[in-house]
């Protein structure tokens, strides 16, 4: 009997050790900074600027402790009108938010069919989604073209780009196309080290396309004859694939680009149809299981007021996109939150149970406070437009919008994020018994009652109090 109890105890201890250490496999090899032993978090602007012919790439420092803690890299791209961001792929999944402008985006997956054809008739309204974008109805020299799907992107879109997927972007609008993106380097899809690695099919070497301080070097790739044989083309064409360019990774398009792409109205109709499909029932809302990467939706606009997940006329609104709204996020294990707070409104204290949050300020400013373990204040400052900061998992945060309001986009390292609020009708205090509160905080039952129920019918977005209005 004693031996059986000892065996049971040993098995239980082994199970506990397996659970405790098994879940920590991802952080076993991380440095001290990457284990989130943060003393201070700062709202920062990009540290590095890369000039190209057709735009600018700005990068936040990967060596910043807060980004190492979250295991991410952050990028801001500014693509000028009629410029092309050259085809690239990167080593980890990427979420992109369109801050300003409009354009065309192509993402290619190996093995998927080229479903867009230039030789289709453009007279039928049912074929609006496969028209030439540009003058005329044919390609250069009258030749036909066919390629994988091209997406119309616009302000407010969240775009999901899996690791290794080749993608390009063209600004066919009249203003700069500004995109902010976060790359999850900790994701299991990245088998390399935790550094951002971009692979370009063309450009990126020499002149303006170099990072500051980087020396120009001659590109040495494949043998030209072998490359020509692989494509079954003359050597002269193969040589063009490997020629150096000083134009950088964004280039000016010399003539108006003509690609087969959807009209903006057609793309909007597709999004409306997708939303109606989700509303019809739970079976259709989980269509990510039936879809393949070839047909899976890769973007969602989260700047639409009527589709807000949390809304308060006095405080503001929050739009969320997760794996249920955009099934491809299930595979990327990422999500996003778009928020707008009215002047002096409050986002009550809360912590994330599942993810790190990388917050980029798109307009206005806010006073933000972040508290870590043992009540240590690691962030207590004003965060303004264009800045970015990280809220690590389990760190509690609170913010109050400034006099001009506060707008942000938050990138999250989980496809199904969960937050735990301290105030409001879903708060942890509301879930606790009165006696637990009174004994924990040494307060009277009456004070505990107020703490628990004074925000009984309100969300985590609160309108400004009279005191905060008078102070402003």
Q: What is the arithmetic mean of pLDDT over 13-19?
A: 33
Which residues lie below 8 Å from residue 227, measured CB to CB, with a gap of 6+?
221, 238, 241, 242
pLDDT at residue 362 tops 90 = yes
> Is the pLDDT confidence value at 259 over 80?
no
- Res 31: pLDDT: 45
pLDDT at 220: 56
Count Cβ atoms below 10 Å from residue 373 Cβ, excluding itself: 12
What mean pLDDT do residues 204-225 have? 55
- Using one digit for the tens of pLDDT, what is the confidence trace for 224-245? 899 899 999 999 988 888 877 7
Token couple for 234: 């003359």
Q: Could you give the CA distance from residue 424 to residue 414 in angstroms, rounded to a whole number?
A: 24
* CA-based R_g, the chain, Å: 26
Residue 207 has pLDDT above 60, yes or no: no
Tens digit of pLDDT for each residue in 133-192?
544 344 444 456 666 688 999 999 999 999 999 999 999 999 999 999 999 999 999 999
For residues 356 and 221, the model is more confident at 356
Least confident range of 115-124, 276-285, 338-347, 430-439: 276-285
What average pLDDT does this structure show over 12-26?
A: 34
Instruction: Give Cβ neighbours of residue 436 (< 8 Å, ≥ 6 apart).
Output: none
pLDDT digits (tens, 9 = 90+) for 27-60: 434 444 456 888 899 999 999 999 999 999 999 9
For the chain, domains (ranges, CATH) are 3-113+148-261 (2.60.120.10), 304-471 (2.60.120.10)
Higher pLDDT pick, 416 / 203: 416
pLDDT value at residue 472: 46
Share of the chain above pLDDT 70, in %: 72
∠ Cα 33 37 40 (to 5°): 95
The per-residue pLDDT for range 403-450, each reduced to its tens digit, is: 999 999 999 999 999 999 888 878 888 899 999 999 999 999 999 999
For residues 115 and 146, give the distance between their C-alpha atoms in angstroms, rounded to a whole number. Answer: 7
Looking at every residue in the chain, the average pLDDT score rounds to 80
Whose tokens are 């009997």? That residue is: 1
pLDDT of residue 271: 55
Helices 445-453 and 434-441, axial angle in degrees (round to 10): 110
Q: What percent of the chain has a predicted confidence (pLDDT) above 90? A: 55
């Amino acid at each position: 009997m004693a031996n059986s109890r000892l065996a049971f105890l040993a098995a239980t201890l082994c199970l506990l050790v397996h659970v405790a250490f098994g879940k920590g496999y991802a952080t076993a090899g991380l440095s001290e900074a990457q284990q989130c032993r943060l003393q201070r978090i700062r709202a920062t602007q990009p540290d590095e600027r890369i000039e190209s012919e057709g735009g600018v790439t700005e990068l936040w420092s990967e060596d910043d402790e807060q980004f190492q803690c979250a295991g991410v890299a952050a990028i801001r791209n500014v693509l000028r009108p009629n410029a092309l961001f050259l085809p690239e792929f990167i080593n980890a999944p990427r979420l992109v938010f369109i801050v300003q402008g409009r354009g065309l985006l192509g993402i290619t997956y190996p093995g998927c069919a080229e479903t867009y054809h230039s030789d289709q008739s453009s007279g039928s309204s049912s074929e609006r989604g496969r028209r030439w974008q540009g003058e005329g109805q044919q390609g250069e020299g009258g030749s036909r073209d066919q390629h994988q799907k091209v997406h119309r992107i616009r302000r407010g879109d969240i775009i999901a780009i899996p690791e290794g997927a080749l993608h390009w972007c063209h600004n066919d609008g009249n203003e700069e196309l500004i995109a902010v993106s976060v790359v999850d380097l900790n994701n299991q899809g990245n088998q390399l080290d935790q550094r951002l690695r971009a692979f370009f099919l063309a450009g990126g070497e020499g002149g303006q396309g170099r990072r500051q301080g980087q020396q120009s070097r001659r590109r040495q790739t494949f043998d030209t004859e072998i490359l020509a044989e692989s494509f079954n083309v003359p050597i002269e064409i193969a040589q063009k694939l490997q020629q150096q360019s000083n134009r950088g990774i964004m280039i000016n398009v010399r003539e108006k680009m003509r690609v087969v792409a959807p009209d903006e109205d057609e793309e909007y109709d597709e999004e409306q149809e997708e939303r109606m499909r989700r509303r019809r029932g739970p079976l259709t809302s989980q269509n990510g299981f039936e879809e393949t990467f070839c047909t899976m939706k890769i973007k969602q606009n989260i700047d639409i007021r009527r589709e807000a997940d949390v809304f308060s006329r006095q405080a503001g609104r929050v739009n969320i996109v997760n794996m249920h709204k955009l099934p491809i996020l299930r595979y990327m294990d990422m999500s996003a939150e778009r928020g707008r707070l009215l002047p002096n409104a409050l986002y009550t204290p809360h912590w994330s149970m599942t993810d790190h949050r990388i917050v980029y300020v798109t307009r206005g400013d806010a006073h933000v406070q972040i508290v870590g373990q043992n009540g240590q204040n690691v962030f207590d400052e004003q965060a303004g437009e264009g800045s970015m900061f990280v809220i690590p998992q389990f760190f509690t945060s609170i913010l109050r919008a400034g006099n001009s309001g506060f707008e942000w986009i938050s990138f999250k390292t989980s496809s199904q994020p969960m937050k735990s609020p301290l105030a409001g009708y879903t708060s942890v205090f509301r879930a606790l018994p009165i006696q637990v509160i009174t004994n924990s905080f040494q307060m009277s039952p009456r004070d505990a009652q107020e703490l628990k129920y004074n925000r009984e019918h309100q969300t985590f977005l609160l309108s400004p109090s009279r005191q905060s209005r008078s102070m402003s």
